[in-house]
Chain A
Amino acid sequence: DAGVTQSPTHLIKTRGQQVTLRCSPISGHKSVSWYQQVLGQGPQFIFQYYEKEERGRGNFPDRFSARQFPNYSSELNVNALLLGDSALYLCASSLLGITGELFFGEGSRLTVL
C-alpha cells in the first residue's frame, strides 16, 4: 500500500510569493494534519482536518490556510511568504483523528529567498 505522499519535494520561492503544498493520505485515512519543522527544531502543528472539516489550528498567521478534498487529500497554502517560512512541511494522516499513530510523508522542503 502507498504511504503518505507529498508534493513537491523541494521548492524555492521568493519573499511575497505564494505556495501550495499537496498531500495524499494513506488509503482509508480520513484525517490529515500539517506540521512545520524548522531546521533543528521539532514539528509545529499547523492544521488538522477530519472528514473535510478543520478540527484544529495551531498558532500560525492567517497567511496559512488549508483544505481537505472529498477524496481526503489536502492542500496547504501559504501567502505572502517570509524568509521565516523556510522549513520542512510535513503532512501526516491517521485513520480516525489525532489520537493514535500518525503516518508521515517525507515532507516538502520550502526555501524562501
Chain B
Amino acid sequence: SQQGEEDPQALSIQEGENATMNCSYKTSINNLQWYRQNSGRGLVHLILIRSNEREKHSGRLRVTLDTSKKSSSLLITASRAADTASYFCATDATSGSRLTFGEGTQLTVNP
C-alpha cells in the first residue's frame, strides 16, 4: 500500500513560475524524501528532511515538513522546462524497513 499521497496528481505551469507539490502520509516517520523521475527512467534523489526538521533548502528546492499534520510540501522556484518530470515523496517509517513511495505528481513546465 502507498504511505504517501501526492497532491495534485498533475500540475502544468509556465517557465519561471513556482511549482508546489504536497504529500500526506499516515504513520510516524524517521525522514521524508523527495525523488524525481523523468519518463520511464530511474528515480533521482532530490532532498531528505528528517522528522525533527521543519524546513530545508537545496538550490531552487524548498521542502517543509509538518509532522503534526503528517504532511510535506516541495516548492520548486523559477521553474524550467527541464524540471518537467514526475515527483514522488517517500517515507521512512519508524516501524518499517523500507522506503514507501506515493503515487507522484506529474509536473509539466511549458517553455
Could you list which residues of chain A lie within 8 angstroms of chain B, going by C-beta atoms? 4, 33, 35, 41-45, 48, 55-56, 58-59, 88, 90, 92, 98-107, 109
Contact = CB atoms under 8 A, between A and B. Distances in A.
A42 B102 contact: yes
A100 B48 CA distance: 8
Contact of A106 (B2, B35, B41, B100): B41
Interface string B4-33: 100000000000000000000000001101
A104 B31 CA distance: 18
Residue of A44, A102, A105 with highest tally of chain B CB at under 10 A:
A102
A55 B4 CA distance: 22
Given A88-B40, A104-B44, A109-B40, A41 B97 contact: no
Contacts of B40: 88, 107, 109
Contacts of A88: 40
B48 A104 contact: no
Chain B: number of interface residues, binned into ranges: 20 to 34
Interface of B: 1-2, 4, 30-31, 33, 35, 40-45, 48, 88, 92, 96-104
Nearest to B45: A101
Contact of A99 (B30, B35, B101): B30
Contact of B43 (A41, A43, A44, A100): A43
Contacts of B104: 41-42
A33 B98 CA distance: 8
Given A98-B92, A99-B31, A104-B43, A42 B98 contact: no
A105 B42 contact: yes
Contacts of A103: 45
B90 to A, nearest CB: 8
A42 B101 contact: yes
